[in-house]
Amino acid sequence: MTKAEQVQFGWVIPRSPKDEISGSCFVEQIFDTLDKIHRHFDTAWASDHFIGSPQHPDYPSLEGWTTICYLAHAFPDLVFGNIVLAQSYRNPAMLAKMGATLHLLTGGRFILGMGAGWWEEEYLAYGYAFPKPSVRIRQLAEAVQIIHKMWTEPRTTFEGKYYQVREALCEPKPYPRPPIMIGGGGEQLTLRVVAQYADWWNIPGANIETFAHKLNVLRSHCQTVGRDYDEIVKTAGGFVAIGQTEAEAQRIAEVFPYRNFLSFIGTPDQVADQLQAYVNLGADHLIVAFADFPDPTGALLFAEEVIPRFR
C-alpha cells in the first residue's frame, strides 16, 4: 500500500436527491455528473445508508455496495469505494469475499471503506442491534482484522469477542490487497483503530482546526502502537459551493439545504486555497461533494479549474 505521489481527488455520489423525484431520475442525475467529470477525478464514493436522510427518509436512496459495483463497470477509469460501510451491516468474512471479488472483476479499482456506524434509527428499522459506541468500534476492529487475514492468509481462523471464523477460505486472493479506509474521528478508540489497522483514514467535513487536531491525535496513537504515521493516507474534504464569482458561490450556498455542512465556498482560486490548507497539513486525497447537484456546473468547474492546480 504505497501513498500517491500527488494529491488525488474523489467525488462523493449523493446518497439521495434534493427533491422528491423517482429513483430512475436520481440515477440519471448521477450519471449526468459522472459523464462530465469522471476523466478528472481519481475516485468515486457511495455512502452506506438504506434510507435517504433524517430530514427526508422517504426520498430515493441507493444501496451503497450495489452502487459501486455497477458504477465501477460503467466508469472504468475510476476507483470506487464506500464512505463508509457500517461494519454491522455485513458479516466481515462475507464482506472480505465480496471485496476480493469486486477487486478482481474491476482490475484492482476498489478501496474498502469501513466505519463503526452511527444512525440508530436506520439500524433498528432494518433489524440490526445498535450497541453502544465502544462496542461498535471494537466490532469494527475485529471485522478489519478478519478481512485483512482473509485477504492475506491461506485460511483464516479468528476467535474474537464479537466475530468468529474457522478455517475460512477467500480465493482468489485480491492482489495487490485493496486499501482499507477507516472513517471516524473518535479520539480514544476510533483513531487508535486507524493507527493499528487502516491504510487510509477519513474524517467527514472537519474544519481545518479539527483536522489538524485529529492528525495530532492519530500521530500519537501511531507512536503508541508502533505504526509509521506517514504510511496512512489521510483524506479530507466536504461539501463545496463553487462559482465563477464569489457572489455566485454564495448564492449556491444560501439555497443549499444543509448549509451547516458546507466546507468550501468561493471561486476556483478561493476553493483551491482552502483545500491547500488541508494539503499543507498532510491530506493526500481530497474527497468532495457539490452543493449545486444535480446541476453538474459546480463539479465541472471544480474539475477543470481546481484539480489541475494540484497536479
pLDDT digits over 156-198, tens only? 999 999 999 999 999 999 999 999 999 999 999 999 999 999 9
pLDDT score, position 263: 96
Contacts of 193 (CB under 8 A, 6+ apart): 137, 140, 141, 144, 182
Termini Cα distance of the chain: 21
Residue 250 lies in a domain: yes
CA distance 147 to 144: 5
Burial class (CB in 10 A: 0-12, 13-18, 19+), 229: middle
pLDDT at 2 over 50: no
- Pairing relation of β-strands 164-168 and 156-159? antiparallel
CA distance 183 to 200: 9
Residue 304 lies in a domain: yes
DSSP secondary structure code for residue 308 in this structure: G
Contacts of 74 (CB under 8 A, 6+ apart): 31, 34
Helix (H, G, I), strand (E, B) or coil at 8: strand
pTM over 0.75: yes
Q: How many structural domains is the chain composed of?
A: 1
Helix (H, G, I), strand (E, B) or coil at 211: helix
Residue 3 lies in a domain: no
Residue 2 lies in a domain: no
Q: What is the 3-state secondary structure (H, E, C) of 227-276?
A: CCHHHCEEEEEEEEEECCCHHHHHHHHHHCCCHHHEEEEECHHHHHHHHH
Residue 1 lies in a domain: no
Domain of 124: which CATH number? 3.20.20.30
Residue 155 lies in a domain: yes
Residue 132 lies in a domain: yes
Look up the domain containing 61 and give its range: 8-310
Give the amino acid at 108.
G
pLDDT at 278 over 90: yes
pLDDT score, position 20: 85
pLDDT at 4 over 80: no
pLDDT score, position 260: 87
Residue 47 lies in a domain: yes
